[in-house]
Structure 1
């Protein structure tokens, strides 16, 4: 299934842990991904993600036509090193987060995945995402 989102991953706990970034067009999905790349994350997919389930886990990769590319708004769609695929451990949704939210999960994909609401363009968003991945999705 193709999903309108971005996918980045961080290496932790001996493997890659993916973060699916969801939000409407212009919400800052690619912008957040780009800033996370500068913080040690790896790109998997920008704009569209092919999703599949295997062994009770959710995985994602870029469609072939978009693999290894990221939109840098105001510049162009540029080549970028990218992982071929990643297991998805956390879903981040564009929005205004609660100060201290209750744990939330999505089962949109037929699996229970931790979900976090973030203001994607906030300067602290990459740091919050990294900490949330360790706290909510690192053991997935």
Structure 2
């Protein structure tokens, strides 16, 4: 089956060690704020506000629309410059609108462009951005 046409999603994406995380949620849910927290811990900005999801033979890839490349919104400060990273392969989707209730949650998946992608839910812990950076460095262990 040929790859699907690229999608442009209202989302934010970051990468750690070349592994991309797509952060989705309602407007004002904290996508950019979480990305900034993760960037302070070593993540790189892929794209803020709009993310291109491209279907390639080797999986889904995240990139920024040209006008948004290297820009992130910080509420109360405006648009900030960030060193943009190259497109990154998508390894997980984070849904900020769904609160994680399990201490050790079962693996979840979501479908995107006809592919199964690990799905993470939001937690209300202050270490969440650091935990996401670590997840992207080495994935979750059983």
2:118 aligns to what? Answer: 114
CA distance, structure 2, for counterparts of residue 73 and residue 47 of structure 1: 13
Unaligned runs of 5+ in 2: 1-6
Local SS of the residue matching 1:112 = strand
Larger gyration radius, structure 1 or structure 2: 2
Deviations 1:75-122 (A, max 9, x none): 001111111311111111112102222210111321111010013x64
Instruction: Choose the corresponding residue for 2:39, options 37, 40, 45.
Output: 37
Whether 1:105 aligns to 2:109 is yes
TM-score normalized by the length of structure 1: 0.87
TM superposition outliers: structure 1 runs of 4+ over 3 Å = none
How many residues matched?
A: 132
Note if contact 2:72-2:82 (Cα within 8 Å) is conserved in structure 1. Answer: yes
Local SS of the residue matching 1:84 = coil
2:10 aligns to what? Answer: 4
CA distance, structure 1, for counterparts of residue 41 and residue 100 of structure 2: 22
1:70 aligns to what? Answer: 72
1:25 aligns to what? Answer: 27
Unaligned runs of 5+ in 1: none
Q: Cα RMSD between the aligned structures? A: 1.6
Note if contact 2:42-2:133 (Cα within 8 Å) is conserved in structure 1. Answer: no
TM-score normalized by the length of structure 2: 0.86
CA distance, structure 1, for counterparts of residue 101 and residue 73 of structure 2: 29
Local SS of the residue matching 1:98 = coil
